[in-house]
A and B are shown apart, each in its own frame.
Chain A
């Protein structure tokens, strides 16, 4: 995994800001958006009024101290919930600010143009004055002033300000690596860039606004959960309101403080207080993984993914093919073959050529080779071979088996059977055979293999356990693709893939009701990125790709999808488990408060006081104190998220049900009893 932006959960300045915001959020106009905490605030206000009554001489509601204490605890309950939300927001904002720092004003070298004609003149302007379509110039050491597409030149660029990745990347005009991001630094060479975004509307700018925005749009699952919680709140309103006539019938007057305490304890304040914090934290976790989600919904959808499309190269295999073996033809000395191969590749700058030299140096010293006076024969699509003509007249060629075969057979030389066999064997093992000839005579075969990234099999296994199907996309022929797919442990593959094939595959999966994610960078990926339910564009990709996707990966790490899925799942799980916990807590609270309400006038119900709480007042206080402190205690869990374990849905449910369901029933019994012991000791 790459570098992560790690900040401690409770960072000093963030906590300070969150504390301030917790009071600001007491404003009913803000709190109104959170119906559960809003009802608690109403209860708090009623208690305040009761306290004033008592000061004015009312004796029916118990002592002032007791009522005032309840008022304080209720107020704290609201403040704790506000704090959780404010802290999550503050963390998101801090994250956005660190991104924004890269967006500070930088001088831009604007290329003056006269109509369509670019002039040589360069004018230094502030980056904020750059308009869409302007062309600027960057040279070594310059900070790229705005997002844009390179229209001329090639440069190495340090993108660490955005991605945190210190290794420089190459960006060049044309193709899929042509986009540069404002705030990055040109390390070498110079480029001309056309601005693609208006000032303040660059991709990152919009992302930052999205992350910062406190009034997030609620995601579909969040809306459904809010309905569930509102339903629970309504049930307890019914329970508490009807309790009043019941108690009149039973000749048991219940003081207002007890009513409000019962109500606040029963409604799901724990999840209600943490719900929005969980949502914000989910976006924030994505951001910490260097993924910017365009909406919370995209993160949530990621948790539901059924199918993931991954490019072979760079994701499943390491970059390019590597030479792994030399197979000499019958009667050919292996060392001679290796030497010939190395000679033919010394001047070959392709990754394959380099890997051949690399492999050959394992069995012979490089300095024994000399290519002085040799002519390099470059690979061409026509001959499909490459090689070298040495000064001593030796002609070494290597290339696709059929091309070399034709060449040797045309020259009247035989094509050995064992070579034919070897070529087939290598192909069926997912490798690429390169046949080598010396003066149009076959001397052997080089095996090139895709190197599968270490640990990738385990990652796919993990995805499979989550119920996510992985699909490898490759330009290879079906035979090679199948071999690599099996070896890497992907479930399916698209061989000889054209961009349309990806789109087609996504459509097909979606028609079967599946949710599909893909990662892409090129402009021709844009339709598929848009079609996919979760499209993750790489930050290095073209702006078309970035526009089409609903997430951007700043690290350009194709395996990031796996993390995104886990973040999505964590988000839902945290909500689900805390809801369960919140509701399960009610059992213990009932056993604390209901006997406390009736114990005095109906002694028979003292038997329900199974926790043996000290007195009715201490029982009620213990219950609401527990109810209040559980919120800050769970803030770390809400912000970090419940750990996802890919152990299958039923096992996961069992696990979470026993931790948060059963635990949610037992924990408050213990907690309330301890608080009661403390209170009774103080009294």
Chain B
């Protein structure tokens, strides 16, 4: 039991220890300083920039950044649709998997372009190796696009008045080749040495102890698993994701994968501090995020290790914690830790069945996705946090009797409008999605959508929409979500909206603020890098999210928890 907790502490401590130097490195990359990979990639990049006629030194304003981001996403989307719909006859398909239907291809492409990685298919049978490679490409570029957006915001937060905020293509390519690629390379090597397959050969055959012949799926898995974690994508090579013995073979690989889930999101916070030379500000943000994270992860680990009282009543021993739906090689604590890390970061890869977690752990995972900025996804996590900062700055600015300002820029009506729209989007999508499905079930109680009735069924629906809207991609999986055209398309649109609007909003706010006159600090200025302001941001996040989701959570996990306690 103690080793379990020690393992979790080790993982978290190692993450922070790695995140600080990585943050410094990331800030160097975005500041345009030399990195060790320049000799390798500079000539290649120059060549591609030349043939595509992109001047990577030409600075862009925030609107040009967004246009660049949206257009390349559109091109990838069309390319992905084509490849997935034709993978059946294209090369690298040793298992002979069929091409995707248009609606499934739409859902999958959107899901991977939007960094969600919701998979309405199973990796073993749904995609060819070429398809998997394309999905891996998307895992790089979607993460890179999010990081490029955050680099634009970093650039906009500088102490000056500026319209031009760097070059999008430069930020994007650098994010992919200088940060994501080397990081995933390291993780992939660890995985390969621990037994994860990395091959283009088709299914392998083994003869089991009972003498049956079993076909075992394999493929170019290690590379995909590495980037799925590093880029907070979450889409696994195999259907069972990181619970699959080939996708996450040992406790060691579990450590490596789990560290890489939150590594870059944390490193980006430190990168902000190094980049702006405002270490105290970065520390404040890190502390607020960590406080929120710990508030979820500590009780979740305790609850999972305490075991499930309902199962205990059935006479099943719970001394090793609530092990239903968890892997023996990871144990209750590491599974709970993973469950929270993967949900706070919009990663969505799983090493246990989230549906089987005790009710309140399930609620903490949902809250992680509802807030979606306690670390958050690569790049986008900070962008979401930025929205909360703007709201907190506004309220606390008024409270100290001064027109609100953040880092020397006045926050006015236009910025507030954008911030409120972006904040509203998340509850709107989650609650209206859950309301729509609740209503449908109320009208057609015999629909085979829910495997569990009552509160847990409600939690499953709520989780599904929260996961889609948070671009997380994990599922409670208890839903009988037989992929239909309706679900593929509606979920696709939810993912598109909840991916791109929360990027457009913060970049627009940052761009608008960057253009404003820089006001130097005075004694009357509310400093953003203080503990007091940190508490304010935390309170704003806690109260806003609690107020938005309390009713829904009360009917799902909270009701389930009290019902279980009264058994």
Measured CB to CB, the residues of A under 8 A from B are 220-221, 223-225, 227-228, 230-231, 234-236, 238-239, 241-250, 266, 300, 303-304, 306, 464-469, 512-514, 568-573, 575-577, 579-580, 583-584, 586-587, 590, 594, 598, 602-605, 607-608, 644, 648-654, 656-657, 660-661
Contact = CB atoms under 8 A, between A and B. Distances in A.
B9 to A, nearest CB: 32
A580 B438 contact: no
B412 interface: yes
Contacts of A246: 434-435, 438, 458, 551-552, 555
Contacts of A465: 523
A300 B536 CA distance: 23
Contact of A231 (B420, B533, B552): B420
Given A230-B420, A576-B398, A652-B399, A235 B548 contact: yes
Nearest to A307: B522
A590 B547 contact: yes
Interface string B495-519: 0000000000000000000000111
Closest 9 CB pairs of A and B: A467-B524, A576-B398, A569-B401, A231-B420, A467-B523, A467-B522, A576-B399, A249-B438, A604-B562
A514 B522 CA distance: 10
A264 to B, nearest CB: 14
B402 interface: yes
Contact of A224 (B411, B530, B535): B411
Chain B's interface: helix, strand, loop or mixed, by majority? helix
B520 A605 contact: no
Given A569-B401, A576-B400, 8 more contacts: A235-B544, A246-B458, A249-B555, A513-B519, A573-B401, A576-B399, A590-B547, A649-B523
A228 B526 contact: no
B435 A242 contact: yes
A464 B522 CA distance: 9
Contacts of A242: 431-432, 434-435, 551-552
B96 to A, nearest CB: 43
B399 A656 contact: yes
Contacts of A644: 401
B313 interface: no
Contact of A306 (B416, B522, B548, B555): B522
A224 B413 contact: yes
B427 interface: yes
Contact of B525 (A235, A243, A467, A607): A467
Interface string B387-406: 00001001111111111100
A652 B555 contact: no
B566 interface: yes
Contacts of B536: 653, 657
A587 B562 contact: no
B451 to A, nearest CB: 15
B555 A250 contact: yes
B394 A228 contact: yes
A534 to B, nearest CB: 13
A303 B519 CA distance: 15
Given A239-B431, A649-B527, A220 B413 contact: yes
A228 B397 CA distance: 13
Contacts of A652: 399-401
10 contacts: A225-B394, A228-B395, A238-B548, A239-B427, A245-B438, A572-B401, A575-B398, A590-B546, A598-B554, A652-B401
B550 A590 contact: yes
Given A246-B435, A656-B400, A231 B423 contact: yes
Contacts of B435: 241-242, 244-246
A584 B530 CA distance: 22
A224 B394 contact: yes
Nearest to B439: A245
A607 B562 CA distance: 7
Contacts of A571: 401
A246 B457 CA distance: 12
Contact of A580 (B395, B431, B532, B552): B395
A391 B404 CA distance: 73
Interface residues of B, number: 67
A28 to B, nearest CB: 25
B512 to A, nearest CB: 13
Contacts of A221: 398, 403, 412
B216 interface: no
A650 B526 CA distance: 6
Contacts of B436: 245
B392 to A, nearest CB: 10
Residue with the highest number of chain A CB atoms closer than 10 Å, among B416, B438, B524, B543: B524
Interface in B527-567: 527, 530, 532-533, 535-536, 539, 543-544, 546-548, 550-552, 554-555, 558-559, 562-563, 565-566
B539 A605 contact: no
Contacts of B398: 221, 225, 572-573, 575-577, 579
A536 to B, nearest CB: 19
B442 interface: yes
Q: Is the interface of A mostly helix, strand, loop or mixed?
A: helix
Contacts of A575: 398
Interface of B: 391, 394-404, 408, 411-413, 416-417, 420-421, 423-424, 427-428, 431-432, 434-436, 438-439, 441-442, 455, 458, 517-520, 522-527, 530, 532-533, 535-536, 539, 543-544, 546-548, 550-552, 554-555, 558-559, 562-563, 565-566
A549 to B, nearest CB: 21
Contacts of B402: 303-304, 569, 572, 649
A656 B400 CA distance: 8
A231 B554 contact: no
Nearest to A243: B551
A576 B526 CA distance: 14
Contact of A303 (B401, B424, B518, B533): B401
A429 B111 CA distance: 77
Contacts of B403: 220-221, 300, 303-304, 572
Contacts of B522: 306, 467-469
Contacts of A513: 408, 517-520
Given A573-B400, A577-B399, A598 B555 contact: yes
A244 B519 CA distance: 48
A579 B424 CA distance: 18
A657 B535 contact: yes
A660 B396 CA distance: 12
A235 B518 CA distance: 33
A464 B442 contact: no
B401 to A, nearest CB: 3
Contacts of B533: 650, 653
Contacts of A247: 555
B438 A227 contact: no
Contact of A657 (B399, B408, B431, B547): B399
A266 B546 CA distance: 12
Contacts of A466: 523-524
Nearest to B542: A587
A242 B395 CA distance: 27
B432 A238 contact: yes
A612 to B, nearest CB: 15
Contacts of A608: 554, 558, 562
Most buried by A among B400, B439, B524, B525: B400
Given A242-B435, A468-B524, A650-B526, A661 B539 contact: yes
A469 B519 CA distance: 14
Contacts of B546: 587, 590
A584 B395 CA distance: 12
Contacts of B535: 657
A573 B399 contact: yes
Contacts of A468: 522, 524
Contact of B395 (A238, A303, A579, A587): A579
Nearest to A597: B551
Nearest to A514: B519
Contacts of B524: 306, 466-468, 649
